[in-house]
Amino acid sequence: MKSIFDDSVGHAKNVSLGLGIIGFCGCLIGWFVAPRDFFVAYLFGHFFFLGLSLGSLALLMIHHLTAGDWGYAVRRFLESAVGNLPLLVLLFVPIFFGLANLYPWQNRAVVSANETLQIYLNPPGFVLRTAIVFAVWIIMARQLLKWSAEQDVTVSLEPTRKMRTLSGPGLVIYPVTMTFAAVDWLMSMEADWYSTMFPVLICIGQVLSALALVILLLAWAARSSVLGSLASEENFHKLGNLLLAFTMMWAYLAFGQLLVIWSGNLPHEISWYLHRISCGWKWIAIFIALFHFFVPFFLLLMRAAKKRRPILARIAACVLAAHIVAVWWTIAPSIYTKHFYVGWLAPAAFLGIGGIYAFAFLKNLETRRLVPQNDPRLELAVPT
């Protein structure tokens, strides 16, 4: 017998597919009408949704490694997001056709001025490194999903042991591979900028956005009681504590990067920030500071806000919305250095990629029960 939640998923899946098709039609028009604007918008949309899947992969490995009670309530949401990684490989392909529109190292004058750029940053190397990092992420994801499915049909402890064994090294592999990806896809958009903290900041932002998403999804599922006692007040409180921890970690890294670069007073490093506080971009920076850190931070300090599902869901929505803006603020000023710009292609790309992503996510969610089966540690997580 179908539940209210199943009906909601089916309806949301149809709506997502329709919106995705509409968004991609807009992207196709933009590719021909304004190719540079299209590729900037497409990179923004893809990187945000890739961040949801990679952040979910990191949270999934943290859960398997620590056996945290909070993870059982959201494991299926995390696994559904992780299952979208092969789709994101296909969606990344258009970016290969826009390297000249996105990256200054494609310019002969820039490359010839720096031999290191010529050796490392070139189209074959870019494609090869992209293929390698996606392959590593997909292999880890596939193994975790495979063993999770095996645990659902057996009382043996072996699948759980395998997931835990992989998760330790996986939490090291993830930031290492994201370092290469962040340098190639984002940092190299600036002709002369370097930061060793930037890839770590990207990783924490991805985990934070994924955590905010699964809190929203759990609040949605909890209304139909599909998850039963797993969607308890206590588990929401634990997820709220995690959200507070990653919010503080993101702010610490963001401020640390700014402090180190600004105090160094070196033109190469400061240029990145100058592009992001000029013209209208400074108001975006203020918005991010307020709603990516200050507002959620002070609200999450209150125990009642973390234990009450509607309030925590609103805080998570605030964090997720601010992170969307933060991804655009990270990417767009590298191209639009002299003026603030959004345009219609950014929403179109976000809608197109997001609609297809949500459709695939919901299809993944339908394949298995929301409550993990036969996990030997699950009984400890269910309140009695």
The pLDDT of residue 279 is 82
The pLDDT of residue 340 is 82
Between residues 212 and 222, the one the model is more confident about: 212
Count of Cβ atoms closer than 10 Å to residue 96 Cβ: 11
The pLDDT of residue 370 is 87
Over residues 148-172, the mean pLDDT reads: 93
How far apart are alpha carbons 231 and 212 in whole angstroms?
15
In the predicted structure, residue 224 carries a pLDDT above the cut 90: no
Query: Quick one: tokens of 191?
Result: 């002709």
The pLDDT of residue 116 is 63
The pLDDT of residue 382 is 62
The pLDDT of residue 115 is 63
In the predicted structure, residue 217 carries a pLDDT above the cut 60: yes
How far apart are alpha carbons 78 and 55 in whole angstroms?
9
Mean pLDDT, the chain, whole residue set: 90
The pLDDT of residue 68 is 86
pLDDT confidence tier of residue 270, bands split at 50, 70 and 90: confident
Kindly tell me the burial class for residue 366, based on how many C-beta atoms sit within 10 Å of its own C-beta (0-12, 13-18, 19 or more).
exposed
Closest CA to 329 of 246, 254, 267: 254
- Listed ranges 8-17, 59-68, 103-112; the one with the highest mean pLDDT: 59-68
How far apart are alpha carbons 307 and 210 in whole angstroms?
19
Q: What does pTM read for this prediction?
A: 0.94
In the predicted structure, residue 159 carries a pLDDT above the cut 60: yes
- 366-384: pLDDT as tens digits: 888 888 888 877 766 665 4
How far apart are alpha carbons 236 and 343 in whole angstroms?
37
How far is residue 373 from each of residues 72, 139, 232, measured CA to CA in Å?
Answer: 10, 23, 18
Amino acid, res. 105:
W
- 37-56: pLDDT as tens digits: 999 999 999 999 999 999 99
How far apart are alpha carbons 10 and 240 in whole angstroms?
28
The pLDDT of residue 1 is 41
- 72-106: pLDDT as tens digits: 999 999 999 999 999 999 999 999 999 999 998 88
